[in-house]
Amino acid sequence: MLCRCSLRQSRIFPQSTSSPTPPCGVSVSASKNRVTASQLIGSTPAAAVRAISLPVHHCLASWADHSKPAAPPIVLVACSGGADSMALAVSAIDSAHRLGLPIHSVTVDHGLRPGSADEAATVAAYLQEMGACAHRRGPHLEGPSGTFFDEKPIFHLSPDLEGHGPEGDARTLRYGAIARLAHELYEDAGGRSTVLILLGHTMDDQAETVLLRLARGSGVGSLQSMAHTRPFPLTVAPGLVSADSPVEAMLLRPLLGVRRAHTLAFCQELGCPTVDDPTNAIDGPWKSADGSPLRRSAIRHRVLPAIGEALAMDPVPALARTAELARDDNEALEHYASHSFATAVRPLVSNEGNEGAGLALDIETIASLPRALRRRVLRHACVGAGVKAGNLSAEHLMRVDELMTAWKGQGPIHLPQLQVWRTKDSANRPVLCFAPKAPGS
């Protein structure tokens, strides 16, 4: 695969002038005194370096140990140039080389501010100098390999792109760009190697996410926050997928047990250049719809310090622990809810006896379940009948639940893309029916 990166002068990154050759076989200008990531970290790294390099190495080594020798996993590390992702990227390049794994990096330019394209170019050049096959994606690059999605034209980010505000839209585009590149790497490997996508989220990011979701009234399913490891499905050519195919891609966050201060210390210890993104500042250029700071910036710069001052303690470890405990509880609830759903689900049969789109649930099977389980079963049913999970609210599920627990002959419940009603089946047993709405209704 062609690795496209050009080196440009940056106010943050020093200009390089020598020619290393990374694993993808593409050279880039760099200094004559070029040092790779493994040389930079060394065989006996300092404590500030070990705090990052060890969890990253353990993460990659565990995957390398369980892979087939003929099909090692492909490492793809996302790096914006901030301290978190830069520390992750340099550590990942070092570990991948020591383990004999192919290593790629991707830097996504969202086009949010002047100079971002140059910064993305210099980040990619630095990572290629460190030993990665560096890729860039963004709205300023020419040609299919420079767009966020090959099928779509070049465009600039807009706060109204998906209606989720600048933070949500930037995340959507960023993950889309990463998924597209992972898809290319998977296909280039013939569908034999899992792509390991590394993200630089830290314990501080975890704590911020918990507070954001608490403020929105989220349940335990949302409080579980970010997972250390989760599958990341790709859309690949059908001929590449077989019963023996590995998982297409995995999303890995090896730094969730690490503090943001540790990643900064890593970069300072090794002299790694970093990008200071003004959009993360409390007075940054992007604002919420009401003109106030972006929610995550407000949590980071105002709320967490205020909590720490009020409680005379650092709240981040406790909030991150809450996320871990919530994940354990959520996994248990999902296990039992999935079993209950499988027991209660029925085909949706019309009055003429024909099976139609949608599904039905046997009310007597689930009505006596604890409410937390029962509403998870209802969520499974709604999603199974065609509703996007993100369009379901607690209010929606409460109204559907009342068709079982507070039945007074009320009519159908209208949800996004779905209607739900209570009736009886051919055996005279009460059921809940979930059917997609007709187009335009």
Between 157 and 128, whose confidence is greater? 128
Domain final position from 243, 276, 309:
276
Q: What is the pLDDT of residue 69?
A: 77
Lowest mean pLDDT among 17-21, 104-108, 226-230, 303-307: 17-21
Please calculate the CA angle 153-200-332 and round it to the nearest 5 degrees. 100
Q: Tell whether the model's pLDDT for residue 337 goes beyond 90.
A: yes
pLDDT digits (tens, 9 = 90+) for 308-330: 999 999 999 999 999 999 999 99
362, 253: one domain: no
Question: Above 80 in pLDDT, residue 428?
Answer: yes
- Poorest-pLDDT segment among 16-20, 114-118, 119-123, 416-420: 16-20
**281 in any annotated domain:** no
Q: What is the pLDDT of residue 114?
A: 79
Pairwise CA distance, residues 441 & 432, whole Å = 21
Domain count, the chain: 2
* Local confidence band at 248 (pLDDT 50, 70, 90 cut-offs): confident
Q: Assess whether 239 and 127 both reside in one domain.
A: yes
Mean model confidence pLDDT for the chain = 82
Mean pLDDT (whole number) for 139-159: 39
Chosen domain end from 276, 302, 322: 276
Which of 82, 89, 194 lies closest to 131, judged by CA? Answer: 89
pLDDT higher than 60, residue 441: no
Domain co-membership, 170 together with 250: yes
pLDDT category of residue 164 using cuts at 50, 70 and 90: low
CATH value at residue 373:
1.20.59.20
Using CA atoms, how far apart are residues 81 and 118, in angstroms rounded to an integer? 12
Does residue 341 lie within any of the structural domains? yes
In a domain, 267, yes or no: yes
Average pLDDT over residues 400-412: 92
Whether 50 and 155 map to the same domain: the answer is yes
| Binding residue numbers for ATP | 80-85
Residues 238 and 340 in one domain: no
Q: Is the dihedral of CA 37, 63, 45, 318 positive or negative?
A: positive
Q: What confidence category does residue 224 fall into, taking pLDDT thresholds of 50, 70 and 90?
A: confident
Which contiguous run of DSSP H or E holds residue 106? Answer: strand 103-108
Same domain flag for 249 and 350: no
User: Which range of residues forms the domain containing residue 357?
Assistant: 330-436
Predicted local distance difference test score (pLDDT) of residue 385: 93
Rg (CA), the chain: 25
Residues 353, 231 share a domain:
no
The CATH number of the domain where 248 resides is what? 3.40.50.620
pLDDT tier at 23, thresholds 50, 70, 90: very low
pLDDT band (50, 70, 90) for residue 247: low
Residues 252, 397, single domain; the answer is no
- Per-residue pLDDT tens digits for 46-62: 999 999 999 999 999 99
Q: What percent of the chain stands above pLDDT 90?
A: 56
> Quick check: is 270 in a domain?
yes
pLDDT tens, position by position, 351-399: 544 456 799 999 999 999 999 999 999 999 999 998 988 888 889 999 9
Is residue 321 assigned to a domain? Answer: no
Q: What share of the chain is helix, strand, coil (3-state, %, to 5)?
A: 45, 15, 40
Residue 356 lies in a domain: yes
The verdict on 106 and 251 lying in the same domain is yes
Specify the residue for token string 């909030």: 319
Residue 14 has what pLDDT? 35
Average pLDDT over residues 227-241: 69
Of 34-38, 98-102, 171-175, 399-403, the poorest mean pLDDT is in: 171-175
Q: Which residue among 242, 276, 310 closes a domain?
A: 276
CB under 8 Å to 322, separation ≥6 — which residues?
210, 223
> Nearest Cα to 97, choosing from 49, 61, 45, 48?
61
Q: Would you say residue 157 lies in a domain?
A: yes
Task: Give the residue with greater pLDDT, 240 vs 114.
Answer: 114
pLDDT at 140: 52
Q: Quick one: 356 and 270 in the same domain?
A: no
Tens-place pLDDT, residues 66-114: 887 778 999 999 999 999 999 999 999 999 999 999 999 999 987 777 7
For 257-293, the pLDDT digits (tens) are 999 999 999 999 999 999 987 777 777 766 777 777 7
Distance CA 236, CA 322 (A): 36
* pLDDT for 152: 32
Q: What is the pLDDT, as a whole number, of residue 367?
A: 95
Binding site: what residues are annotated? 80-85
> Does residue 332 carry a pLDDT above 90?
yes
Q: How many helices and strands, by DSSP H and E, does the chain display?
A: 14, 11
Task: Identify the band that residue 246 occupies on the pLDDT scale cut at 50, 70 and 90.
Answer: low
The sign of the torsion formed by the CA atoms of 277, 280, 285, 286 equals positive
What is the reported pLDDT for 27? Answer: 35
Q: Are residues 87 and 176 in the same domain?
A: yes
Structure tokens that stand for 431 in this block: 């059921």
Choice between 349 and 418, residue whose per-residue pLDDT is larger = 418
Task: Answer whether residue 77 is part of any domain.
Answer: yes
Same domain, 230 and 340: no
